[in-house]
Amino acid sequence: MSIIHAAITGVGGYVPDYILTNQELETMVETSDEWITSRTGIKERRILKGENKGVSVMGIAAVKQMLSKTKTDPREIDLIIFATVTPDMPFPATANVVAAAVGAVNSFSFDIGAACSGFLFALETGARFIQSGIYKKVIVIGGDKMSSILDYKDRTTCIIFGDGAGCVLLEPTSEKVGVLDSILKSDGTGESYLNMKAGGSRIPATHESVAARQHFVYQEGAAVFKFAVTNTADVAAQIAERNQLTPETISWLVPHQANKRIIDATANRVGITEDKVMMNIAKYGNTTAGTIPLLLWDYEKQLKKGDNLILAAFGGGFTWVAVYVKWAYDYH
Ligand X SMILES: CC(C)(COP(=O)(O)OP(=O)(O)OC[C@H]1O[C@@H](n2cnc3c(N)ncnc32)[C@H](O)[C@@H]1OP(=O)(O)O)[C@@H](O)C(=O)NCCC(=O)NCCS
SS3 101: helix
255 is a contact residue toward ligand X (CB under 6 A)? no
265 is a contact residue toward ligand X (CB under 6 A)? no
Work out which of 18, 37, 39, 173 binds ligand X, going by CB under 6 A.
39
**What residues does 6 pair with on adjacent strands?**
172
CA distance 171 to 322: 20
CA distance to 81, 85, 140, per residue, from 93 (Å): 9, 11, 14
Site string for ligand X, 111-150 (x = CB under 6 A): -----x----------------------------------
Stretch that binds ligand X, among 34-42, 88-96, 181-189, 297-305 (CB under 6 A): 34-42
CA distance 54 to 15: 13
Work out which of 7, 99, 237, 258 binds ligand X, going by CB under 6 A.
258
Cα 266 off chain centre by: 17
Nearer to ligand X, 39 or 128 (CB): 39
Cis peptide before 247 (omega within 30 of 0): no
| Strand locations in the chain (E) | 5-14, 18-21, 44-47, 79-83, 108-112, 138-145, 163-173, 178-186, 194-195, 218-219, 252-255, 308-315, 319-326
215 a catalytic residue: no
Q: Minimal distance in Å, beta carbon 233 to ligand X? A: 12
Work out which of 170, 224, 310, 321 binds ligand X, going by CB under 6 A.
224
H or E, element range at 294: helix 291-299
192 is a contact residue toward ligand X (CB under 6 A)? no
Stretch that binds ligand X, among 91-99, 133-141, 218-226, 236-244 (CB under 6 A): 218-226
End-to-end CA distance of the chain: 32
185 is a contact residue toward ligand X (CB under 6 A)? no
256 a catalytic residue: yes
Stretch that binds ligand X, among 64-72, 219-227, 298-306, 319-327 (CB under 6 A): 219-227
Please report the DSSP string for 151-204 in residue order. -TT-TTTTTTB-EEEEEEEEEEESSS-EEEEEEEEE-GGGGGGEE--SSSSSS-
155 is a contact residue toward ligand X (CB under 6 A)? yes
Q: Give the count of residues interacting with ligand X (CB under 6 A).
A: 21
Q: Minimal distance in Å, beta carbon 277 to ligand X? A: 16
159 is a contact residue toward ligand X (CB under 6 A)? yes
Choice among 116, 167, 231, 259 that is catalytic: 116
Work out which of 19, 26, 33, 35 binds ligand X, going by CB under 6 A.
35
Cis peptide before 318 (omega within 30 of 0): yes
Work out which of 129, 216, 314, 324 binds ligand X, going by CB under 6 A.
314
Q: Minimal distance in Å, beta carbon 154 to ligand X? A: 9
Q: Minimal distance in Å, beta carbon 331 to ligand X? A: 30
Choice among 96, 231, 259, 286 that is catalytic: 286
HSE-CB of 135 using CA atoms within 13 angstroms: 24
Stretch that binds ligand X, among 45-53, 155-163, 267-275, 296-304 (CB under 6 A): 155-163
228 is a contact residue toward ligand X (CB under 6 A)? yes
Cα 191 off chain centre by: 19
The CA-CA-CA angle for residues 274, 276, 279, to 5°, reads 70
Q: Which residues would be at the binding site for ligand X (CB under 6 A)? A: 31, 35-36, 39-40, 116, 155-156, 159-160, 221-222, 224-225, 228, 258-259, 262, 286, 314-315
Residues known to be catalytic: 116, 256, 286
